[in-house]
């Protein structure tokens, strides 16, 4: 229930930000139906809204989606292997379903939690997106309402729970500085890709040491 209300509210802001960024109603809804992973969706529309190319946005979205692959490792033993069920289950592999599934005691309960959470979140996520997008379409000038200040706040809210120790805090600060230093010299959206490459190199080097 709590997760449902949170999802609906989160989706409203996605629908609004996507529309203010210039995506059509159909494109906004397609992202929620087909991509169905919040941080990646916000990243794509955020990059486009800031004047970056949709391809830079798509690359950022895919990089943010890489964490969903790690969730699969924890879920694959709980879910049915192979066939169309796995293909369908894959679409629902997101933060919320993983958290609910791994918190259960038995495989049967985990499976139920995964599918129930997945269906509830999918329904509310898409409903919220549609309402947020329709409401924003009706507005005259989104910038007057401060909509350009909304995406950074959304990214901050997504980032905050990941800053639980000094290392991620240091990485976040460095990434922000590096992105701003590169920004005047490269095409829009590219600072994000530079930051992604640097953090990947850092991660690989650290895992050796």
Partner 1 sequence: MMWAGVLVACASCYALKLAGLSLPASVLQDPRVQRTVPLVPVALLAALVATQTFSTGHHLVLDVRAAALSVAIVAVLLRAPFLVVVASAAATAALLRLL
Site for partner 1 in 162-201 (CB under 8 A): 162-163, 168, 171-180, 183-185, 188, 191-192, 195-196, 198-200
Q: Label residue 54 exposed, middle or buried (CB < 10 Å: 0-12, 13-18, 19+).
A: middle
- 179 alpha-carbon distance from chain centroid: 19
Tell me which residue of 25, 62, 37 sits closest to 118, measured CA to CA. Answer: 37
Using the rule CB under 8 A, give the single segment among 10-18, 104-112, 117-125 that binds partner 1: 10-18
As measured in angstroms, the least distance from the Cβ of 115 to partner 1 is 14
Site of tokens 């309960």: 109
Q: Write the binding mask 71 to 110 for partner 1: x where contact by CB under 8 A, - elsewhere.
A: xxx-xx--x------xx-xxx-xx----------------
Burial class of residue 70, CB neighbours in 10 A (0-12, 13-18, 19+): exposed
CB of 179 to partner 1, least distance (A): 4
The footprint of partner 1 on residues 110-169 (CB under 8 A) is: 144-160, 162-163, 168
Minimum CB–partner distance for residue 28 and partner 1 (Å): 9
Q: Residue with structure tokens 């095409």?
A: 187
Site for partner 1 in 22-41 (CB under 8 A): 23-24, 27, 30-31, 34-37, 39-40
Compute the distance between CA of residue 206 and CA of residue 209 in angstroms, rounded to an integer: 5
């Amino acid at each position: 229930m709590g997760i449902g209300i949170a999802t609906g509210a989160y989706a409203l802001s996605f629908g609004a930000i996507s529309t203010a960024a210039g995506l059509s109603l159909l494109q906004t809804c397609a992202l929620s139906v087909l991509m169905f992973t919040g941080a990646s969706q916000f990243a794509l529309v955020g990059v486009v809204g800031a004047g970056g190319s949709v391809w830079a946005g798509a690359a950022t979205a895919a990089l943010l989606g890489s964490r969903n692959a790690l969730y699969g490792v924890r879920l694959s033993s709980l879910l049915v292997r192979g066939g169309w069920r796995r293909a369908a289950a894959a679409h629902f592999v997101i933060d919320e379903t993983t958290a609910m599934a791994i918190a259960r005691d038995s495989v049967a309960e985990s499976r139920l939690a995964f599918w129930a959470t997945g269906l509830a979140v999918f329904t509310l996520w898409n409903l919220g997106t549609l309402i947020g997008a329709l409401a924003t379409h009706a507005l005259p000038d989104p910038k007057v309402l401060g909509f350009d200040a909304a995406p950074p706040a959304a990214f901050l809210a997504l980032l905050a729970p990941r800053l639980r120790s000094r290392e991620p805090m240091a990485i976040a600060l460095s990434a922000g500085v590096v992105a701003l230093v590169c920004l005047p010299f490269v095409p829009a959206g590219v600072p994000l890709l530079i930051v992604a490459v640097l953090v990947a190199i850092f991660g690989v080097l650290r895992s050796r040491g």
